Each structure stands twice: as C-alpha cells, then as structure tokens.
Amino acid sequence: MTVVSKDNAKHYFWGEQCDGWHLVQSGNLSVIQERVPSGCGESRHYHVIAEQFFFVLSGVATIELEGKLFQLQSHQGLHVKAGMSHQVTNNEATDLVFTVTSTPPSHGDRVDRV
C-alpha cells in the first residue's frame, strides 16, 4: 500500500487544457482528480455501464445532467447513473478541481452525444 496524491499518480491530459490524475485504477473502481481551467469542459456524453460521482474540491462545476443544470460549489457532489447524459464545464474565472469516482471504470464506456 502507498499513500496516493496527484504528485505520484499517473497523469494525463484531456480536452484542450485539462488534466487528470489516476488516484485509484482497478478493475472495479476508478478515482480521478481532474483540473479544468476557466472556460473549458468536456463534451456531452453518457456511459453505458459506469455510474459516476463528481465531488468538487475547489472552484464551481456546472454540470448539465439530462438537460438540467446543476452548479456544484466546493465540497458538493452529484451522482450520475449509467445512461444519463452529462457534461462538466467551468464557467468561472478560477480553475475547477474535482474528483470523479466511477464504478466500474468509465474509460472505454463513453458514448458522445450531440
């Protein structure tokens, strides 16, 4: 066992300027810390099998979930069930930092929506 932080976790880039760090990566569970700069976000999509929990560490997340907008402040979270269309964006002036927990892991289980 090792204490995990973004300093020793596997890093990757996504989108135009966003970062992700794999804090936990197993066959049944994924926990990722992500950083989304101001004005950035992901495209609308859903997962066929994976359900996810988004938890804001700092900043404000705007999450569109099945056509409804949610604004999550620091230390607030939102559960997204499998099959639900969603999109995370950062409309604020500061970076958005959050964790996304997925079970099973969502990589390879993403379907983009227009």
Query: Could you tell me the residue ranges of all domains in the chain?
Result: 11-107
- In sequence order, what are the residues at sequence separation of 6 or more whose Cβ sits closer than 8 angstroms to the Cβ of residue 85? 44, 45, 46, 64, 65, 66, 67, 113
Question: pLDDT of 3-37, one tens digit each?
Answer: 999 999 999 999 989 999 999 999 999 999 999 99
Paired sense of beta strands 77-80 and 51-58, if any: antiparallel
**CB contact at 8 A, 61 and 52:** no
Fold of 11-107: Jelly Rolls (2.60.120)
pTM: 0.95
Structure tokens at 10: 């596997």
